[in-house]
Structure 1
């Protein structure tokens, strides 16, 4: 526990240094889609060799509240090292006040990415609030037609009791366990065929209780993955999580269902 908290503090400090660059950088720049294998070892280049579609399927990264795309820098590097070639970010700004409105903007960004890439379906990885925005788009706005796999990291799928403290703010109010937004996400979703991979940590200090980062919905194809000793912000900076994400995104066969037994990831720094 102490080691996890120390690691969280270190990563938050490092992220605060990088954060200003995310405010001035261009998160919508065209991703590096070169397919050179020169810097990869045999294991890393196997994805590009034998699963070209999986390697080139666009991956869109969606950050959390009051954050920007720099939170994903370690995870993006890890995925590129594993052969994924098309990664970009959706920055929705600091003034977001409504999950539904931001999901509309996300829909526009996804359509643009689909048009530019030529791929009809993409993957989305959302951290914290970014996962909830992405899930709303997928589940309630027809986004399942565009999103093959949605990965969420520390997302308040069932709300967070901590949101009761700041519920005077409209956006925070939507994150309460009893909010109308959470109730809407609990409604039936029989047509949603997107795969969901939801990571939840026993050391997540922002999702209270931590199990609320799980997706509990009878209509959705979900694999909930518990992780141990990893703080909320450090979820994007963990080798074990990156490995699990890469393994899931490398598999595009929709006939293959997730293992019904949950995987467990122990904390380890992204290399």
Structure 2
């Protein structure tokens, strides 16, 4: 992955020298990457609507003790070469707003195919009104998984609001004792201006500068969870797209920029899934304290 800078939103139409910027913005919107990403987003949203009813039931964690990393394909063995036991650390997937575990259908399959033996999703209440309450419930779910599997720590992958719920638990409720790695996909770490559209209690917490987001800006010294924030320049929900970054000075998050991937497509994009698997396998540990932006092909 090569270093890259974030793509700025297309500017408005101006006169003079600024007028030259507008055509560049239009060309960016009409680029093959953007068009492909937009079509993929539309197709996945349609498929996800059909799959949604199948994800309403809570998923039980079903570890497969028969699987051994040494018996896996070469690509799987290479992924866990540095730490073969990493394949057995439970992975918990947390969905976003007005969603359920069906959004992770391909994510679960991908992680299991890559050698992770304990992967499950968690559905929180669709009537959720407060991020802090959801974070507490997430902590209880993590404790149940640790008790069931015998592991002291787990990995968490959160999409959209799910990432913010997990971050709150890690940063404000002592969840870093249990959560080894947290990966957020399209999470509004700095809020989203789109949250001004709906006045519901939960959505108000997603507005830039809300009390919950200000609380997450407070110091968090000694946080033990490795955090990776994946965000996209084509996110239609997290606006501005730069709000998907996590720049808290005490968290040392890795910020990974992907280009041309819509908000709902992040959990199914192959490059994003590669990043998730590599990070959870431990390959990113040496970079945990260094914040940077990277582009995933």
TM-score (norm 2): 0.84
Confirm or deny that 1:11 pairs with 2:49. Answer: no
Rounded to whole Å, the distance in 2 between the matches of 1:102 and 1:79 is: 25
Q: Distance in 2 between matches of 1:3 and 1:253?
A: 29
1:79: how far off? 1.1
For the residue of structure 1 that corresponds to 2:293, the secondary structure is coil
Aligned to 2:84: 52
1:201 Cα deviation after fit: 0.3
Classify the secondary structure of the residue corresponding to 2:276.
Answer: helix
Compared CA separation, residues 64 and 39, structure 1 to 2 (3 A): farther
Contact 1:193/1:221 (CA < 8 Å) preserved in 2?
A: no
Q: Which residue of 2 aligns with 1:98?
A: 130
Counterpart CA distance in 2 for 1:87 and 1:3 is 30
1:139 matches 2:171: yes
Residue 201 in structure 1 maps to residue 232 in structure 2: yes
In the other structure, the counterpart of 1:85 is: 117
Distance (Å, rounded) in 2 between the aligned partners of 1:85 and 1:226: 28
Asked if 2 retains the 8 angstrom alpha-carbon contact of 1:74 and 1:237, the reply is yes
Aligned to 2:55: 22
CA-based RMSD of the aligned residues comes to: 2.0
**Residue of structure 2 in register with 1:66 after alignment:** 98
Q: Mark the CA change 1:51 to 1:191 in structure 2 (over 3 Å): closer, same or farther.
A: closer
Per the alignment, do residues 169 and 208 of structure 1 end up closer, same or farther by CA in structure 2, a change over 3 Å counting?
A: same
Q: 2:142 aligns with which of 110, 117, 122?
A: 110
Give the direction of change, closer, same or farther, for the CA distance of 1:202–1:45 in structure 2 (3 Å limit): same
CA distance in 1, matches of 2:90, 2:59: 14
State the shift of 1:26 in Å: 3.6
Question: Greater Rg, structure 1 or structure 2?
Answer: 2
CA distance in 1, matches of 2:282, 2:188: 26
1:211 lines up with 2:247 in the alignment: no
* Distance across 1 between alignment mates of 2:220 and 2:77: 38
SS in 2 for 1:64: coil
Equivalent position of 1:232 in the other structure: 263
**Distance in 2 (alpha carbons) for counterparts of 1:215 and 1:11:** 26
CA shift in 2, pair 1:253/1:164, >3 Å: closer
Is the CA contact (8 Å cut-off) linking 2:58 and 2:123 kept in structure 1? no
Q: State the Cα deviation string for residues 107-127 of structure 1 (Å, max 9, x = none).
A: 100011111111111100000
SS at match of 2:206: coil
Whether the 8 Å CA contact 2:231–2:258 is kept in 1: the answer is yes
Q: Name the stretch that deviates more: 103-112 or 48-57.
A: 48-57
Q: Does the CA-based 8 Å contact 1:69-1:91 persist in structure 2?
A: yes
Q: Which residue of 1 aligns with 2:205?
A: 174
Unpaired segments ≥5 residues, structure 2 = 1-33
Partner Cα distance (1:118, 1:61) in 2: 19
2: distance between equivalents of 1:178 and 1:258? Answer: 26
Give ranges in structure 1 of 5+ residues lacking alignment: 267-271
Q: Distance in 2 between matches of 1:169 and 1:150?
A: 27
How far, CA to CA, are the matches of 1:259 and 1:245 in structure 2?
17
**Which residue does the alignment assign to 1:269?**
none
Distance, in Å, in 1 between the alignment partners of 2:109 and 2:241 is 27
Q: What is the total number of aligned residue pairs between the two structures?
A: 264
Q: Secondary structure at the match of 1:148?
A: strand
Deviation at 1:81, TM superposition (A): 1.4
Q: Give the CA deviation at 1:47.
A: 4.5
Instruction: Report runs of 4+ in structure 1 exceeding 6 Å deviation.
Output: none
Q: What SS does structure 2 have at the residue aligned with 1:263?
A: strand
Given that 1:45 and 1:82 are in contact with CA atoms closer than 8 Å, whether structure 2 keeps it comes out as no
Could you tell me how far 1:16 is from its partner in structure 2?
Answer: 1.0
